[in-house]
Every structure is written in structure tokens, then in C-alpha cells.
Structure 1
């Protein structure tokens, strides 16, 4: 079926069930950013396969909400579907809940699947519907329509990331977690986020493409801890290890029942954005459970990397830098020989050079290999059916990353494939200035991402320009490539502290014309302490040259030029011991100082 037919089938089922509206979010029972294929219902129904978006359907209409990263992509993929694109943040565009409240009838019924809908979203809907007395109804209308084609729920083999990489054992982390809960005045916690259980248990698997997590919940009570997981996919030695570390094992589907059966009074800390409405209702049904809203505790614990993790992360980025250099040399050679190279070839090349690194666990996300105007779509992915051929002109943007036993990486480089025009150099140097200004900022303690983000945007704002996304995000440790709580954007109120990592990736995206992005990962560290307090700074831990050919040095300040030359010196010193003589000759030129 095409998208229009799928929406029609959903509307027919809604009518049969007495439901006036239905919501399909981009989520799974763990409110994950990247979903197992089994839960990619929004993508299946709409045809829009960006990582974020919400589909709302009424008896006569369908609309999809997407943010600025996906405006261009969504316009293309929704064409002919009958689904209206709602551009989040644009003037006159209502929120999902406001649109539904306006479209649904008085005393109507709104359907949601509480298993994959967050408590926070369910409550927003209730608030928006109160005036018209629209009720919420729990109903899974996805399964009856998405049948034969639907992938099974994942159950890949689970394994343990050794503490030599992870820094601490699960029992040590459990003790730290319980201390954190005590400080919040609570004594119970349900880890719903996959990355939280992964961190706490040192447990990994391959349930989500590019993300080494296992579908599970972890329940921590005052005198016990239980992992709810499909036991068939947990090898005996892993079960024994977790039990020895203080964690019992129970079936995945028994999570809600376990909450309902708690016999002694406990107080849970919950974050409604990461807790499904179905599990929240299970808590509400048990009079022994009190809840306190607060910060998801593990997110804050794992957001600050330990000394062991930082040491390993630098090894992972060094390996990644070697892979990037070998890719760039290969690409230059193919272009010089006038071989046919497509975006899909670039994807395969990048995958090859990462996988040949020792202790590689694969890619951390699908490579964005975008040539020319395709790079204006921030999250563009080439496919065999839609794959541009590179020419000796314009820019190639490559955004990619890898998982290694030592950590996770995320990097973007934009390459000039021919002699860049003055306009192309101007754009590239603007992005580079923004990147450098962010990387070299020094700031007082307790400064949040919302304040630091300004440093990157100033060069753009000077010219009346901007980019419709954050400047950077946290990166997990052998985990998700997007990690909170820290971020560099106009919303993040979380203060940076030493040990946090974040990407620095400003860009320019001119529709149907050009896209440029430069991305490094930064480590927050102490800079100095004076009578005015503590000051922090960032250290780049991504090691890969930035294309000098596309830079206009006259448009860099002395401080920016000094930073760039020092950065390239560090790249050469870090990577050269791991490259061949010929590769080092290339790297020396790529990292040569600019006068």
C-alpha cells in the first residue's frame, strides 16, 4: 500500500472503533530517538523516514509535524500522500495538540497507544482537549493494519561491556545510583530509556540499527534490582554476571505487572517525557507507589564521562581519524583518476575504513554522504535509487561516526571536490569561523548550553543568517550518538561540567543550492580558577583535518587562525604514528599551517 492507502485504512479502522483522531508518534516503549524497525510506524504510514516527527490522523485529514532539520526531506517524501506538512516553529503552524483540539468534535474520542506514547504527551493532549471534553482512549490501531510487512520485535544476543572500557562495574554504578536517588528524597526508579539500562548494567546488544542497546527495563527498589528482558536472548554467562552484580532477570512483558504488585510503600522519581503512559497508569493503580517528578537520574550520571571513559574515547577518536584520513586519500585518488564515484560509494568507502579498525563495532548512525544541493537537507541519506554522482566541482558533505569498544564517535567534514568559487569559500569560511568560535570559548561554571550556543551563531547573525538546528549534542559511550542532558542549542538549561562531551557542528543550508557542515566532538575541562570563580573550556577530541582548500584565510581573525593551526598540529601528532609513510605525506600537507 502507498501512504494514502494506509491512511485510508487507518481512518476506516478508527470509524469502526469509534475513534475520531489517532496519533502515531516517533517512539517505542522506551521513548527512543532511534527506533527498532518494529516500532517505525510513523515512517511506515506516512513515507517520511526522518528520525523525528509526529503523524496525526482524523476522520478526514492527516498531518505530519517535522522540525527544521527535515523540512526539505519531508516535503519530498510526503508529496502525493495527502498528508499536510506542519513545519514546527514556523509562523502560524499550530502544535499537534492544538490542531487536534481544533479538528476533533465536541466530546469526541482521541486514540493513542499508551505503550509508545509518553506520559508528558498524553497529559498535554488531555490539557488541550479539556474545553471540548475530548477523551483519550488506549488503542493499538497500528498492529491490525501493519501486519505481514512488519518486522518482528528485536531480540539480538546481549553482551557485557567490560569495566576496563566502561569504567565501573554494574554493582558500583548501582551504588552510585542509589546515592543519587537518596539525594532526591526517593528510593525507587524505573530505567525506561535504553541508554540508562545500558549504562547501569554495562549491557549491550544490537536491537536498534547503529545503536548497541537491548530492549529492557530496569527496576530499582530499596532492596532489589530487576532487569526485564527477553531471557532467551541473554546468554547464561551474562545472566550469571548480572545476578552476581545484584540484578535479577525477569521477562520483558512483566514490567507493568511488577509495578502493580509492589507490596511496600516506595517513592519513584519519574520523568514524564521518558515514561510511557501505560507504565505511568500501572504506577497510578498501585496505592503503595508515590511518584515525584524530577530529572531522569542516570542521564545525569552518564552524561559526565569518567577518566577511564575519556581515555578510551580519545583512542576511539584516534581510530576514527585514521579511518577518515584513509577515506579522504581514497576519494582524492578516485576523483583524480576520473573514476565514477557516487554518494552510495562514499557510504561504502567510509564503512570499509571504519570496520578495518581494531575493536570496531560498526557505524554509530547511517552515513550522510551528500553532494552539492543534497547537502542542504541536513539528514539526507543516499539510496541506490536516489544517489548523486560526484563531479570535480562543488562540495561533498560526509557526516558519519563509529562505535568502538573504546567509545562512540560523530564527525562531519565537507570536502571541496574542485577549485571552490569565491562564494563557496565564503560560505565554508563562515561555517569554520562559527565552529572555531564555539571550540575556543572560555566560560564560567554553571553556564548552560543555551548561553554557550550564542558563541557559534554570532558570525551567522552578523550577516542575518542562521541554521535551523542546535549547534551540538552530547554523544554516548558505546551508546546512542545523541545523548543528554547537555547540548548546545537555544533550549538547553543544563550547565556544562568537566567530563561532558558535546559536538560542535554549525552549518549552512541553502535549499537546492549548497550545504556545509564542520563537526568535531568537544570535551569540557577546567581552564582556570581565579578570585572570580572557576572557568571551563573545550578540548577537541576529534582528530581529522579540515579542508584547507575551501578556506579563505583573510576572513579568519588571528585568534581563529591560530586555533586552526594548533588544531591541525594536534591532528598530525595524534594520527601520524598510526599511518603509513605515504599516508603521513598526505596528512602533513593537509595539516600544514596557514600563514
Structure 2
């Protein structure tokens, strides 16, 4: 069972909580303490017991951190969360810092005197992260016990969800085969073992799923993969009882407190990834060696079985979305609010009888709330949708055969020409990525500009990546593949990504259009060179609202792509819906201009 605790702080809760932390800092002789969003697994979503940043500041975004000093406190957030941070935090307690425009190192150097002591929890910061700070002249970084934990009196207990086996037929490979592949990579790298703290990588490797994090079917654990293809699974043993037979003798379950002894007993180097491994783990006994994570790319490149399964999940989810969008368009109550939108959409997904969980908290933003890229509605922000220019709905489902993530922006009032103009520019960026054909070796940073070019031409942009990796009944956000300015990871067949450009006008409206796509080998057209190229297969089949499209802005090729996409939506989803839903679908997928 998932634990549900309210650990957030209202703005008025922050001053006494920060004061208690400062008293603890004084006892430790610290001038500053860093409070990250992260847990020991560096997951995007954290268990209630690890929601330290939300507890002390009130900020609930999925990225950011705070630094507490004796006389000031700062919350560091990126452009996605500027408005959200302003709304959720007490400005008298927390100053807001634009990050990464201002680095933590630069801020600490200006905020602290020579000889300043900065405390950090070595289980919550990676080796790579702390290496960026080690060169601070005159400032000491002190690994300490967590100060927030010391003053958080009613902190929830760690999650203890039971593991369950994931079918080999859906995974496409048994875990023995996966373990053998990783073991071969370890031998080639000259290490005796590799230690990972990534629950989704462990779930992929061992064909298991868990119930420790809401919306994401993972079990919090560490694992040591040995060059002989055996694995030590580091977690509370009671979590593994249901999967004992599935794991077999080659997977040993080791209680967490025995991890230092285990590592000390390994003969030879133990590899770790600096970008995900906590400082505390890398500094445990034994010979540690930094290396690239050997699980990352095999996990990211889905098998044919996984791709076939996720295709079916997206068709099922697409039919649920069509039923929802038709209801929203024709049958919604006059007093419908954002919370009602999220509840109704989940109901349509549950009607499939195959939804296991939504894949993240539904973003249902009307009017100005749509301008918050990662907005999450609550009873205080809930807004009626009537009369707003647009409603942005970003949502997804967790099914046994796949994880979905889709965004559609739809008109609520009569379409506004300015909104339609920007919607069309966003659509052009999404089409450009969908149609991309590129050589092997091209990374997400190379394709990101395709999505932004229509906006850049008008001196506009958006402050989030264009696409993230997606798992198969795993994390809705997974790495290492991304479409963003900073991603250097070459795209490879089998990688699933989102394609979601957007545009946001603070206080007015927000637009985002998102499909999931999968990298594949491209077919060579007549006249093409005899070389291998890649392109994308679309996985998401749901109408894009034609009422918001300024058709005169589209090129003939863009119109042809949109009409072909809608024809395919009708062909694939039409047989899965009936009556008024099917009639609406056919109207919404008619050729543009008809």
C-alpha cells in the first residue's frame, strides 16, 4: 500500500521549522545546511519520509533545493517552477534563486565568509554533484547526519511495499539473460561488481516491480551486480517474500545494514556511476571505481516485446482519452473545475479495467494555471474552467503493458486568435520532431532546436526540455535519453521519449502538445544514400484539437502530416469507441479545412 502523508508546509509553517533547523545547525557548528529534493536513490518522486524540501519550505516541485544559513534561506528552482515557488513559499523566509543561472557554488561563495562550514547529508548528494563544490576556497563541506530528520518530529516511516514479478513475456527477456549481459559488460570493464542505487534499473534487471513510490511501480533498494551474473539485492528482506521463487538462487537478499560488510568483502574493483551514486556509498569500504552505468542503455532500449506491449497500452489509453475529450467537449457540467477534470479523466481510464495507477498527478490547468508547466491542482488553487481560453491536460496511466503520458490543450471558450497563433507554433515544433530523420550518433540536444524553431523565430521559447525518456510499466520519466539542450546521449532504436513543446504566457494561458514516440531504424526512401538512419514511430493516437489551429501558418508538408496523423487516429481508435464517442472522433479527425 502507498503511504499518504501531508508533509508540505504552508507559508506560515516555514519560519518555525527553519528556526528549529537553525538551532540544530548551531549545535553542530554549521554555517549552512543544504536541503535537496532528492532521496538516496536520486528519484524524481520521493516517499513521504524523504519529502524534506517540501516539509521545510512548502515547495512541492520535482526539482530544486534549499540552503539554510543562520540569517537567510534560499530556494533554488529552475524556470519551470518560478511561479509555483512564488506561490508556495514565504518570501520573508525564503529568497528565490534562479537556478542553474546562479550556481550553488557561486551563491555559497558570496553568502558565506571565509572558513564557513556547509553541512550536507552524504546519502542525498551524488559524487558528481559534490565534486562541483569541492573547489570552494575557504569553505568547508561537512558530511553530517540529516538536520531536517533531526527536527522533523512526526516524520513518516520508510515505505515497505511488497515486490512482485513482472512477466517475462512482456519484458521480452528473462532476468537471467539480463544479468548475463551486464556481467559481460563488467568483465569487459575490468571490475568485479557494480553497485546501483536506481530502483527502476533494479526493477528492469530483475523483472520485478514494487509499491514504494506512489504512481511509479518501483521498490526502493540498492543492488550489487557481480561479474559472475549474481546479484545482491539490498533492501528489507520482507519486501522480497512474494518474489523469492522468481528471483531464484542467483539473487541474494541482503539487509541494508550489511552493505558495508558486503562491499568490503568483494575482491576487486566495484564500479559506481558518479551521477547517481551517493557520496556515502562511494566512500564505503572496498575498492571503488567510477564508470558509466552499464544498466542505463540496455534498460532504455526496449525489446520488441516491450514495444509491442506499449503500443497496445497506448491504444487502450487513447480510447479512454477520446471518451474523456468528447465528454469534456459535449457533456461537461457548467460548474466543472480542474479537480473535476482530473477525477473524470482518471475515471475514464479506470473504465478500461486495466489501469493499475495513473502515471503521475494529472496536470489540469485552466487559463492562467495552464501557464505553470508542472502545475498540480489542489483545493486552494482549484479553478472553474468555464470562460477560460484553454484547458491544458497532461496525464498518463500505468498499465501492466505500458506507461502512457499525453498532453492535449483544448479550447473552453471561443478560440482566441492569439492563443491559436501560439498553439500552431507549438504544433509546428511537435510535427518537426515527429518527422525528424537523423543519422546514428545524433543526440537529443541536436533535435531540441527543431521543436523550438517556430517559437524562436518570434523571439519566444519555453523553459523545459522538449522530451524525456519513458519506461514500460516503470517511470514516466526515465533516463538517460532526453530531447533537451543538454542531453549528449545518442538516440538509439527502442528508446521511448516524449515530444512536448509548449508556450506559456504568465497569468493568461499555457499550451503544450505531447505525444510519445519511439526511436526506430528508418526505411531508406528512393534516392536516399545507402546508410543507416533513424526516425520516430508515434505511439500516441489522440486527436489534436483543430479548432485551435491557425491553418494559414502551416506549410503543405505540415498539413499533410497532421491529416495523415488524424486519419491514423481514426483508423486505430475508431474500432475501440462507439456511439457519440465515435461520431466525435470522426469529426475531430477530419482533414484540416473540411
> TM-score normalised to the size of structure 2?
0.94
**Secondary structure of the residue that 1:234 maps to in structure 2?**
helix
1:387-418 per-position Cα deviation (integer Å, ceiling 9, x unaligned): 00011441000000111010111110001012
> In structure 2, how many angstroms separate the alpha carbons of the residues matched to 1:2 and 1:257?
42
Q: Which residue of 1 aligns with 2:569?
A: 571
- Kept after mapping to 2: 8 A contact 1:334/1:341: no
1:74 equivalenced with 2:113 (yes/no) = no
Task: Report the Cα offset of residue 169 of structure 1.
Answer: 1.3
Task: Report the Cα offset of residue 531 of structure 1.
Answer: 3.8
Q: Which residue of 1 aligns with 2:485?
A: 490
1:223-243 per-position Cα deviation (integer Å, ceiling 9, x unaligned): 3311111112223x4112212
Which residue, 208, 215, 225 being the options, matches 1:210?
A: 215
Which residue, 308, 313, 326 being the options, matches 2:310?
A: 313
Task: Report the Cα offset of residue 32 of structure 1.
Answer: 1.0
Q: Which residue of 1 aligns with 2:7?
A: none
**Secondary structure of the residue that 1:213 maps to in structure 2?**
coil
Q: Which residue of 1 aligns with 2:159?
A: 154
1:187 equivalenced with 2:187 (yes/no) = no
Task: Report the Cα offset of residue 324 of structure 1.
Answer: 0.6
**Secondary structure of the residue that 2:215 maps to in structure 1?**
coil
Q: Which residue of 2 aligns with 1:58?
A: 69
- Kept after mapping to 2: 8 A contact 1:434/1:455: yes
- Kept after mapping to 1: 8 A contact 2:314/2:404: yes
Which residue, 530, 535, 546 being the options, matches 1:548?
A: 546
1:428-472 per-position Cα deviation (integer Å, ceiling 9, x unaligned): 111111111111111112111111111111111111111111111
> In structure 1, how many angstroms separate the alpha carbons of the residues matched to 2:181 and 2:227?
13
Q: How many residues are paired up? A: 578
> In structure 1, how many angstroms separate the alpha carbons of the residues matched to 2:39 and 2:29?
25
Q: Which residue of 1 aligns with 2:132?
A: 124
Q: Which residue of 2 aligns with 1:170?
A: 175
Which residue, 94, 101, 105 being the options, matches 1:83?
A: 94
1:321-372 per-position Cα deviation (integer Å, ceiling 9, x unaligned): 011111112212334xx53100000110111111222432111100000000
> In structure 2, how many angstroms separate the alpha carbons of the residues matched to 1:30 and 1:490?
25
- Kept after mapping to 2: 8 A contact 1:217/1:255: no
Task: Report the Cα offset of residue 81 of structure 1.
Answer: 4.7
Q: Which residue of 1 aligns with 2:9?
A: none
Q: Could you say if the C-alpha distance between residues 206 and 290 of structure 1 is closer, same or farther in structure 2, counting changes exceeding 3 Å? A: closer
Task: Report the Cα offset of residue 182 of structure 1.
Answer: 3.0
> In structure 2, how many angstroms separate the alpha carbons of the residues matched to 1:373 and 1:173?
47
Task: Report the Cα offset of residue 70 of structure 1.
Answer: 0.4
1:11 equivalenced with 2:22 (yes/no) = yes
**Range that drifts further, 389-398 or 353-362:** 353-362
Flag structure 1 segments of 5+ consecutive residues without an equivalent. Answer: none
Q: Which residue of 2 aligns with 1:145?
A: 151
1:332 equivalenced with 2:329 (yes/no) = yes
Which residue, 471, 479, 491 being the options, matches 1:476?
A: 471
- Kept after mapping to 2: 8 A contact 1:210/1:364: yes
Q: How does 1:215-230 map to 2 (within 5 A)?
A: 215-223=220-228, 224-230=230-236
Task: Report the Cα offset of residue 250 of structure 1.
Answer: 1.4
**Secondary structure of the residue that 1:2 maps to in structure 2?**
helix
- Kept after mapping to 2: 8 A contact 1:219/1:225: yes
Task: Report the Cα offset of residue 484 of structure 1.
Answer: 1.1
- Kept after mapping to 2: 8 A contact 1:471/1:489: yes
Task: Report the Cα offset of residue 99 of structure 1.
Answer: 1.4
- Kept after mapping to 2: 8 A contact 1:393/1:420: no
> In structure 1, how many angstroms separate the alpha carbons of the residues matched to 2:50 and 2:253?
24
Which residue, 268, 284, 304 being the options, matches 2:301?
A: 304
Q: Which residue of 1 aligns with 2:272?
A: 270
> In structure 2, how many angstroms separate the alpha carbons of the residues matched to 1:453 and 1:538?
14
Task: Report the Cα offset of residue 183 of structure 1.
Answer: 3.4
The root-mean-square deviation of aligned C-alpha atoms, in Å, is 1.5
> In structure 2, how many angstroms separate the alpha carbons of the residues matched to 1:544 and 1:133?
54
1:113-169 per-position Cα deviation (integer Å, ceiling 9, x unaligned): 1122212222222222xx205242322212221121x22100112101111111111
Q: Could you say if the C-alpha distance between residues 409 and 74 of structure 1 is closer, same or farther in structure 2, counting changes exceeding 3 Å? A: same
> In structure 1, how many angstroms separate the alpha carbons of the residues matched to 2:288 and 2:87?
47
> In structure 2, how many angstroms separate the alpha carbons of the residues matched to 1:315 and 1:257?
45
Which residue, 351, 356, 371 being the options, matches 1:361?
A: 356
